Amino acid sequence: MKARVLNNPSKVADFWDWLTHRPQGYVACDIETGSNPGGHELDIFKPGFHVRMMQFGDADGGWAVPFQEWRGLVKGAFDWISESRTQHVWHNGFGYDAQALRQEGIIIDPTCMQDTQIWAGLTGFAGESRALKTLARRERGDFGINTSIGADRLHTGMKNAGWTWTD
């Protein structure tokens, strides 16, 4: 699995080639948000809110794209996803991520959007946690266990260091 960060213009062509040649026929998407000091990290309608990272991926790897530096490229990526009718998969995409991107001026085409949080509610988990790592642990055995180990370590490290998601 190869994870890359788009941190200079020389990588734009590699990102675009990866995005536009999807052997899987889908792209998984996620955002990370932030706030200015005194702002509100998760409340999209409060001053200081911003999308700080856009992530695109598939089963083989993906790209982390610093949103504020590459806003035009992210918009172009979603324009291409819409025009090509590429399936894009999110977790809570309808409920949060698409709304956060709308606040940043990017409109996501919902017609090819899949939301795993909604699917989890429709497939028997409506009364249980639909958090992504909880679902992975419950549904995918070893894969989910490995996924949650990283999340558990991250949360412990953040707590011990006094960090928040803004850090």
Report how far residue 73's alpha carbon sits from residue 2's, in angstroms, rounded to the nearest whole number: 20
Render pLDDT for 88-104 as a digit per residue (tens, 0 to 9): 888 777 788 889 999 99
Q: What is the mean pLDDT of the chain?
A: 78
- Locate 134 and state its tokens: 């909880």
Contact 59, 23 (CB under 8 A): no
Which class for 147: exposed (0-12), middle (13-18), buried (19 or more C-beta within 10 A)? Answer: middle
What are the pLDDT digits (tens) for 54-96? Answer: 999 988 889 999 999 999 999 999 999 999 999 888 877 778 8
Burial of 71 (0-12, 13-18, 19+ CB in 10 A): middle
Per-residue pLDDT of 95-141, as tens digits, reads 888 899 999 999 999 898 888 766 565 556 555 554 555 555 555 55
**Residue 20 tokens, joined:** 């536009």
Place of tokens 């995409």: 93
DSSP 29-82: EEEEEEE-TTS-SS-TTSTTEEEEEEEEEETTEEEEEETTTSHHHHHHHHHHHH
Q: Give the phi and the psi of residue 144 in degrees, each rounded to 5.
A: -65, -40
